[in-house]
Amino acid sequence: MADLFVLLEAAWRAPSAQGKCLAVDALIPVYLTLCQDQPLAEAMYPAPDCASVGRPARPVCVPPESLPFRKAVDKDGRAALLHAIAHIEFNAINLALDAAWRFQALGPAFVRDWIGVAIEEAYHYRLIAERMAQLGIAYGDLPAHDGLWRIAEQTADAVLARMALVPRLMEARGLDALPPIFRSFQGIGDKATLRVLSIIARDEVRHVALGDAWFRRLCEAQSLPVAETYQRLIVTYDVPRPRPPFNEAARRAAGFEASELTALVGR
């Protein structure tokens, strides 16, 4: 296990999307070892400031409100929508790696879970990048926004907030976005993209569920109420609240309770 955090750092710092995916591949044997309940090394290997994370020079990041609304009505619209998804998946790789490294004190099960997520996010990125290439576009060709990673920076010293605001808020919002995205690609008969999105949709429910499970575990350890703590953290960190319409089936599968969904709809 001595190489675990060396490999994690290499993946976290890799600046290109292709290089990051290859570095994540190198983590797979370590992940399989962790799945056999091997302990972590006792010596802590602290993560650096979030600003040091490896990212390419492009895409250029702009405020979210500067990005045009994307709809898959033509080839350019499809390409733009897929580029936005690729950006989310690239950031999701970094977020999962960062959680595994930064919050390693929670133990091997936590580290294993988030390395596993990073492996799947790298797979998703590659699927989207391949589909984009078929449409004549590459990651970085269009602008994007940096909202996800800003939340990582805000929660670098607070794992409870990280679990609440990344998987349980931002990634759950991705579950809500999936039905209209599916309808857009169904409307133009883009079966190739729909196959990719189906894989991503399946896996993202599990990723949100992992974040939900760890959030609940951390709340329980501190005798905190789950729903109230979630809402308090949203206010404390001044991030956009969840807004309907919700993908209630996906959220329930990811661990949200019916009472919490009802409360969210009513806000």
Task: Check if the beta carbon of residue 154 is closer than 8 Å to that of residue 59.
Answer: no
pLDDT tens figures, 225-256: 999 999 999 999 999 999 999 999 999 999 99
Report residue 209: phi and psi, to 5°: -60, -40
Give the pLDDT score at 77.
Answer: 87
Give the pLDDT score at 73.
Answer: 67
Strand partners, 108: none
**Strand, coil or helix: what is 195?**
helix
**Strand, coil or helix: what is 61?**
strand
Q: Which among 141-145, 146-150, 184-188, 196-200 has the top mean pLDDT?
A: 196-200
Task: Check if the beta carbon of residue 168 is closer than 8 Å to that of residue 151.
Answer: no
Residues contacting residue 173 through CB under 8 Å, at least 6 positions apart: 242
Q: Which residue, among 175, 159, 48, 37, has the nearest Cα to 99 in the 3D structure?
A: 159
Radius of gyration of the chain (CA): 18
Give the pLDDT score at 267.
Answer: 59
**CATH 1.20.1260 correct for 4-41+71-266:** yes
Task: Check if the beta carbon of residue 108 is closer than 8 Å to that of residue 51.
Answer: no
Give the pLDDT score at 75.
Answer: 81
State yes or no: pLDDT of 43 exceeds 60.
no
- Domain locations in the chain as residue ranges: 4-41+71-266
**Strand, coil or helix: what is 144?**
strand
Give the pLDDT score at 41.
Answer: 59
State yes or no: pLDDT of 145 exceeds 60.
yes
Average pLDDT, the chain: 92
State yes or no: pLDDT of 38 exceeds 70.
no
User: How large a percentage of the chain has pLDDT more than 70?
Assistant: 94
pLDDT tens figures, 56-84: 999 998 887 777 777 766 888 899 999 99
User: How large a percentage of the chain has pLDDT more than 90?
Assistant: 77
pLDDT tens figures, 182-222: 999 999 999 999 999 999 999 999 999 999 999 999 999 99
Residues contacting residue 239 through CB under 8 Å, at least 6 positions apart: 151, 165, 169
